[in-house]
């Protein structure tokens, strides 16, 4: 295609890297006509652009390696989204994986992800999940609290070689984000309070099956400010010094969690991954020198910033409702596939997939199909005049949408496709009604 037959999309920073609009106004991603895919696979459909995912992985890896002279690793936080195809892609890009449940671990292992590159999180890991993690040869278990530490010490009493672990601390740092996704404050449910570190060290002294190699903290999600990360490194290094000086433990690795924000709407700016890497590299180098450590291994766990921009949600406009000063466009998805607006007041934007750059004619409410008045995907979306049957495309839909999806109202979850270089592949089929009753048990008494 030459330059006279396509143009860039408005607000390109919200869309996958390969997004263009063809001479007929049609949205094209990964060389594919988005509306055609929506009609072919049905809607709601989640479309992912492979190039955008790979590029985000590479940006993180190269930025970190360029800005810090010690060892670095990027672990994708799979709670943002995980499926088999994505696991393969993350493995191929050389990232590690952060899992937070037996389910995420299962999917990763079934997809062949190297267990050594997996870290397991969670504030309420069950005994079964810990046993699953230990049996799989997972690289690291990130211990969240003293009860988990005690259980793990018991489970590994005769283990050789010992299981590598890290301790997650609550660093007592407040961040500027939605209260539901703040995690670094002193009263967070996550992580050891700083004054519990000594008790953890005491417990570890009699845990021969465990080997403490790292310290972890995670401040929260959708963060844009870099300074809290520098404060976090200071607190982590302070804790590492305390473990060394009081208890003789030598920490080798500092894991600063995830949290890098992404823009969801035109008024928000892209996060500068390189600037964060520079700030982290500088802070960690200084703190290691100041406290007499060699350059410790630096790990970071981005989730949203790897996958959010690569994903676009596609819906069909099913019906409209017109009031004197208000117009609703009812779509065939909503809070079942994207709970974020209802849960966090998250804001999104949308375009019509076949009139992508057309002039704006009205402001409409994009309303979901679920039986909740709060099921409003976008309260005021500026759009060209839209009608029943039009395909609506919502960008920045890759993170914490499908991974938090439900079958509320017994509505099947969407299909997922991956596009790349003009071709498309189905990576997760649409859920069926049969899938939804697959777990139902009918006793002989109950049979009709
Ligand atoms: C421990 C941990 N690491 C990483 C992440 C990923 O965060 P984000 O998707 O904001 O990068 C989370 C989620 O907030 C988390 O809880
Ligand atoms: N689910 C949240 C992010 C939570 C991150 C996990 N600790 C969101 O959609 O923004």
Instruction: Please work out whether the CB of residue 355 comes within 6 Å of at least one atom of ligand 1.
Output: no
Q: Answer whether 3-49+310-436 and 68-307 agree in fold.
A: no
**Residue with the nearest Cα to atom 1 of ligand 2?**
400
| pLDDT for res 1 | 43
| pLDDT for res 4 | 56
- CATH tag for 3-49+310-436 (out of 2.60.120.10, 2.40.37.10, 2.40.50.140, 1.10.150.170): 2.40.37.10
- Does residue 115 contact residue 164 with C-beta atoms inside 8 Å? no
Q: Which of 304, 305, 398, 404 to mutate to test the pocket of ligand 2 (most atoms within 8 A of CB)?
A: 304
Strands (DSSP E) contained in 45-126 are 45-49, 72-77, 96-99, 118-120
Instruction: Please work out whether the CB of residue 303 comes within 6 Å of at least one atom of ligand 1.
Output: yes
Task: Locate the ligand 1 atom nearest the alpha carbon of residue 260 and give its number.
Answer: 11
Q: Which of 60, 64, 79 to mutate to test the pocket of ligand 1 (most atoms within 8 A of CB)?
A: 79
- CATH tag for 68-307 (out of 3.40.50.720, 3.20.20.10, 1.10.760.10, 3.40.630.10): 3.20.20.10
The answer to whether the annotation marks 374 as part of a ligand binding site is no
Residues 110-133 as b/e (b if ≥16 CB within 10 A, e otherwise) read ebebebebbbbbbeebeeebbebb
> What three-state secondary structure class fits 350?
coil
200 alpha carbon, distance to own chain's centre = 29
| pLDDT for res 178 | 80
Positions in the chain whose pLDDT score sits under 70: 1-4, 444-448
pTM: predicted TM-score of the whole model, two decimal places: 0.96
Q: Which of 75, 120, 301 to mutate to test the pocket of ligand 1 (most atoms within 8 A of CB)?
A: 301
Instruction: Please work out whether the CB of residue 218 comes within 6 Å of at least one atom of ligand 1.
Output: yes
The radius of gyration computed from the CA coordinates of the chain, to the nearest angstrom, equals: 23
| pLDDT for res 448 | 57
Instruction: Please work out whether the CB of residue 218 comes within 6 Å of at least one atom of ligand 2.
Output: no
| pLDDT for res 417 | 99
- Does residue 327 contact residue 361 with C-beta atoms inside 8 Å? no
Q: Is 158 left (phi over 0), alpha (psi -120 to 50) or beta?
A: alpha
User: How many angstroms does the Cα of residue 35 sit away from the middle of ligand 2?
Assistant: 29
Instruction: Please work out whether the CB of residue 413 comes within 6 Å of at least one atom of ligand 2.
Output: no
User: How many angstroms does the Cα of residue 299 sit away from the middle of ligand 2?
Assistant: 19
Distance of alpha carbon 48 from alpha carbon 68, whole angstroms: 31
Distance of alpha carbon 262 from alpha carbon 270, whole angstroms: 6
Distance of alpha carbon 385 from alpha carbon 362, whole angstroms: 6
Distance of alpha carbon 182 from alpha carbon 220, whole angstroms: 4
Strands (DSSP E) contained in 296-437 are 297-300, 311-323, 326-331, 351-352, 362-367, 376-383, 391-394, 415-420, 423-428
Task: Locate the ligand 1 atom nearest the alpha carbon of residue 399 and give its number.
Answer: 9
Strands 311-323 and 391-394: antiparallel
Is 371 assigned a catalytic role?
Answer: yes
Distance of alpha carbon 322 from alpha carbon 19, whole angstroms: 32
User: Alpha helix (H) ranges present in 218-353?
Assistant: 227-247, 273-290, 304-307, 340-344
Domain chopping of the chain, boundaries: 3-49+310-436, 68-307
């Amino acid at each position: 295609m030459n330059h006279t037959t396509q143009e860039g999309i408005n607000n390109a920073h919200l869309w996958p890297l390969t997004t263009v609009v063809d001479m007929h106004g049609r949205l094209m991603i990964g060389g594919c006509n988005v509306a055609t895919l929506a009609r072919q696979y049905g809607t709601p459909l989640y479309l992912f652009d492979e190039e955008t995912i790979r590029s985000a992985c590479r940006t993180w890896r190269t930025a970190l390696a360029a800005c810090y002279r010690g060892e670095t690793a990027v672990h994708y936080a799979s709670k943002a989204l995980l499926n088999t195809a994505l696991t393969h892609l993350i493995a191929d890009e050389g990232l590690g994986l952060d899992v937070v449940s037996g389910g995420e671990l299962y999917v990763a292992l079934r997809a062949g992800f190297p267990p050594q590159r997996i870290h397991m999180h969670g504030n309420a890991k069950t005994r079964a999940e810990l046993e699953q993690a230990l049996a799989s040869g997972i690289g690291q278990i990130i211990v969240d609290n003293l009860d988990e530490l005690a259980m793990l010490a018991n489970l590994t009493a005769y283990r050789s070689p010992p299981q590598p672990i890290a301790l997650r601390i609550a660093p007592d740092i407040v961040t500027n984000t939605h209260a539901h996704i703040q995690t670094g404050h002193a009263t967070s449910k996550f992580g050891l309070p700083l004054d519990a570190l000594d008790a953890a060290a005491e417990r570890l002294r009699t845990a021969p099956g465990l080997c403490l190699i790292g310290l972890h903290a995670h401040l929260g999600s959708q963060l844009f400010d870099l300074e809290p990360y520098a404060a976090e490194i200071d607190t982590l290094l302070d804790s590492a010094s305390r473990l060394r000086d009081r208890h003789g433990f030598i920490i080798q690795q500092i894991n600063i969690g995830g949290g890098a924000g992404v823009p969801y709407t035109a008024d928000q700016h892209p996060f500068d991954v390189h600037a964060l890497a520079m700030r982290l590299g500088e802070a960690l180098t200084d703190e290691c020198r100041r406290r007499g450590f060699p350059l410790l291994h630096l790990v970071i766990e981005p989730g949203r910033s790897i996958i959010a921009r690569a994903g676009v949600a596609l819906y069909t406009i099913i019906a409209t409702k017109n009031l004197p000063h208000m117009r609703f466009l009812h779509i065939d998805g909503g809070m079942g596939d994207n709970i974020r607006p209802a849960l966090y007041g998250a804001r999104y934007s949308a375009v019509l997939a076949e009139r992508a750059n057309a002039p704006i004619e009205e402001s409409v409410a994009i309303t979901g199909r679920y039986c909740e008045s709060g099921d409003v995907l976008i309260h005021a979306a500026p759009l060209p005049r839209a009608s029943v049957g039009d395909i609506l495309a919502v960008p920045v839909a890759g993170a914490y949408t499908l991974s938090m999806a439900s079958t509320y109202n017994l509505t099947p979850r969407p299909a997922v496709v991956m596009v790349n270089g003009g071709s498309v592949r189905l990576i997760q089929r649409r859920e069926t009604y049969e899938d939804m009753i697959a777990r139902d048990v009918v006793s002989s008494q109950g049979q009709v």
